[in-house]
Amino acid sequence: MFNLLRKRKVAIVASVFLIAVLICGIFAPLISTFDPNETHGKDRLSTINSTYWLGTDNYGRDIFSRIIYGTRMSLVGSLGIVVFAVVLGVLLGVVAGYLRSAQMVIMRLADVLMAFPPLLLAMMLMAIMGSGVFNVVIAIGAYYMTRMIRIIYSLTLKIKEETYIEAMHAQGASTLRIILRHIVPNLVSPIIVQATFTFSSALLQMAALDFLGLGIPPQYPTWGNMLSEGSRFMTRAPWMVVIPGLVIVLTVLSINIMGDLLRDNIDPKFRDIVKGT
């Protein structure tokens, strides 16, 4: 992992940026200069200055503070989506791959959900359940759960045909023991890689839902809500859109770069190539 990191300078920059984002999310009250919802009527739409480091919005709220608190909301929401998708996706994928009786029901349900574009599925579920962080996690996580199901399902089908699994059957091992002791541990690496890419995609989907007004309520500072509010003042105060948009792009790009690095580190063939160079 560290050998690959040394060979890829851009990965070092991405890791530093992600560490900074994580620090901002954890220590938001200490880093922010104002309360994110504190208004300053006389300073509406102020440009970048010594008082407001990234300017203010149409209500006079400090954009820097809202970006910092938005980091916390984005990280918590994306992490919740990843946990939801991984836990249910792995559980259903292993069951579908190992138990033929459950294969038809689980995989056809996954096919139905995957037939919808992720944003459209999330919008439909949010319209049914209403706004809120928990509902956002379910609405977005439902699609990425199906991707995890298909990956784990295919890998489980392959693993259960291995000789050592047949040997465990011959020794009288229970189904639960085989799944927990021999199948799931062999799925850890692909789960970690897929979780990384799910995290970045979930962050984008959350921002899209917030922008459309279907995600987290607008009174909470999120990057998507900031984009939605700033779009009405694009010509007068472009920083209201450019700054949160740039933060989203850089965060997603950094996560994808680290996901590629992690995938290459896990792939044995790529490790051999790196060692040979």
pLDDT 10s digits, 152-198: 999 998 888 888 888 887 888 788 888 888 888 888 888 888 898 89
The ranges assigned to domains in the chain are: 2-276
Tell me what pLDDT residue 275 has: 40
Phi-psi region of 55 (alpha: psi -120 to 50; beta: other; left: phi over 0): left
* Higher-pLDDT residue of 270, 262: 262
Tens digit of each residue's pLDDT (9 = 90 or more) over 234-254: 888 899 999 999 999 999 999
pTM of the model: 0.86
CA dihedral angle for residue 89, residue 91, residue 96, residue 98, rounded to 10 degrees: 140
Tell me what pLDDT residue 273 has: 35
* Higher-pLDDT residue of 43, 2: 43
* Higher-pLDDT residue of 93, 4: 93
Q: Is 78 exposed, middle or buried (0-12, 13-18, 19+ CB in 10 A)?
A: buried
Which residues contact residue 67 at a Cβ distance below 8 angstroms, ignoring those fewer than 6 apart?
Answer: 54, 223, 226, 243, 244, 247
123 contacts 209 by C-beta, under 8 angstroms: yes
Give first-to-last CA distance, the chain, whole Å: 15
Tell me what pLDDT residue 140 has: 93
Indicate the CATH number for domain 2-276: 1.10.3720.10
Average pLDDT for residues 89-95, to the nearest whole number? 93
Tens digit of each residue's pLDDT (9 = 90 or more) over 106-155: 999 999 988 888 888 999 999 888 878 889 999 999 999 999 999 999 99
pLDDT of 270 higher than 80 = no
